[in-house]
Structure 1
Amino acid sequence: MGLQYSGKNMTTSSLPVLEGSDPRLKLTVGNRIRNVFVTQLEDTRHRKEEHVNYLPVVTETSSRVLEAGVNTLLKTLVLKKQAELDKVDQQLTLKRQEFKNRMEALSWRKSELELKQQQTTERLMKFEKFVAENEVKRRRALQKYEATLELDISKQREIGDLTDQLKQLRARKQVLKERMSKYKIYEDYLMKTIDHFPSTYLDNGSESLVMPIIRRHETLTITHQELLQRLRSLEEEVEQGRPQLLIMKQEHSIKTLMANKELSDLQSELETLRETNKQAEVNLLLEQDLSRQKVEEEGRLLMAINNLAEQCYLSTYGPLENMNMLTMMDMVKEYILDKADTERRARRLMESGSAMTSRNSSDRQKREGVNEKHPQ
């Protein structure tokens, strides 16, 4: 669309604008005197003929007529292009309006999608919160159930203990009842004996042997009641301390679980550190092996240099013990170069000697040949 619009501007700017008053666009036609044949009558020469189509006579030159036709054609083309451009502009306007409507629909749909996404996110957050709350409630209910179950178990144990005590007390009661029925005859006998005693005998309590026993029995009874009351208070204290004991047991179990979890985490971390240490030890051993190999190679290289220095010793470099490695290598290099130079010189001398020998032998042979040809 933008290309068509720019094409319109280019067309309108590249073509010349032709005015309707341009004289070049006008075709000049003159009304000349009609051609008259000589044989035509005089009265019919000037009579207006009907139903006769007159052809205009062109007085312009051919170049003028061509220029006027070209200008007319250009203006027609410009008008046609202008109409096409107007049509394209209308289509472009419609397309722009359609694009605008679509963009508005897209923005509306985008806002709807964003709203739905926000609602979905809020629902998801609410659902996660609901799940978390349910999890917390479930844990609390589970803890409460465990505490209730443990309390129920303790109560059942307590009921069993109390049942056993009740059985023991009933058995003891039955034994005491039998003992009382056994000693009832003695009580009846004593009571009858007291009835036969005179009244003055009972008034003398200090001399009576029964009153200390009775007082002792009363004292023991009071002590027994106090002990029973103290036992009840201790049992109440024990009952009051049972929930605290359960809470302490739960806390202990929770702490134990947390400690076990921390211990497992520390053990896993320890295993990881052990693996890391093993890998580091392997790397260290590899590095030590490489460094050992490097040291061995350097030692062999130093020994080779020392051996070469001993074999290639030159007195100009001083004593061998005071030389460093670079000096030894320079000495070996100079020695080898000297030996190579000596070898080259020896080869040259040998080659020159062999050449002189060959020349002498050839000269000798020539002389011997000449002597054979010219004997004395």
Structure 2
Amino acid sequence: MSASYLPLLNSSLPLPHSTTRNVFVTQSEDSRKDGIVNHISLKTSSRALEGGVNTLQKTLILNKQADLDEVDKRLALKRQEFKSCVEILNHRRSQLEEKHKQTKERVAKFEKFVAENEAKRRRALQRCEATREENAVKQREIEDLTERLKQLGARKQVLKRRMEKYKIYEDYFLKTLDFFPGNSLDSGSESLVMPVIRRHESLSVTRQELLQRLRRMEEQVEHGYTLLHSMKQQHSTEKRVARKELSELQSELETLRERNKQAEVNLQKEQGLSRERVEEEGRLLLAVSNLAEQCFLPGYGPLEDMSVVTMMDMVKEYILDKADTERRARRLMGAASAMTEKATRKASVKSPGSKTQMKSSSKVSRKSETLS
């Protein structure tokens, strides 16, 4: 809101004398024409003007104060909006921090889970290897026991045939024993049949033990086969997973090889450009060294110890020195030609053969100019 301030009137300044009287501008023209004009003194009019200006300034100050109050209200609203935005942002920041924390915890749990799975896989592989070795040992034991069982079966068949062969004699002896009285057997020495019977009993007991042991070994072998089958399935699944990972790694390896090939091509290009730059720099250095040999100045020291910048400075100084010398020689030759021309002119004035001397001097000046 722009307002034009009126300048304060200074009552101390002298006013110019005028023939017209002081009149309020608010009076109408008709009243002034009719002669009804309120004449006031100069002092009264200046006070009225000062009061009007003060009233205008107060009005402007009130307007400014109202505008300032409106701006304060808007600023308070903006501050409230900013405060609410800051609270929302803080709330969102806390939510994001909580989510980030939860993500970190999930990543840590996942890494722990992966480590535990890796440890379980290693333990399973170790158990698989141990079980495989144990199965191999058990298989060898089973083969040995099977071979021994076959031998015992063959021996059993031989003993069975032998028992069948001697069965008639046993029956004969048993029938014969039935006809002997009961006290005739207590002769103080054991009969020859009892060791055979005891041997048969011991062999039958041994046979039963071997059969029970064979059953236990067969059960262990069956359990080992089932465990081996489950471990083979687990190994096949792990092998498929490993093949999948291997294929992914191979694909990554192929992409890395392609990138390496592209990088090698770029490197070869850069090496070719650098080689060309090196060759160009070598040619420049050779040209600078040749110029330095031609423009050698003893003040710069030996040529072998100079750097390239020193050589170029020496060549520059040599060229500037030669140019300065050439300019001086031309000036001297010009001055000499001018002096000869003046001398010939004076001689031509004195002697009649001045024309020939002037011609010769002009020829000499032309030769000097051509030489310069």
**TM-score normalised according to structure 2 size:** 0.42
**TM-score normalised according to structure 1 size:** 0.41
Q: Which has the larger radius of gyration?
A: 1
Choose between structure 1 and 2 for higher RCO, CA contacts under 8 A separated by at least 6 residues. Answer: 1
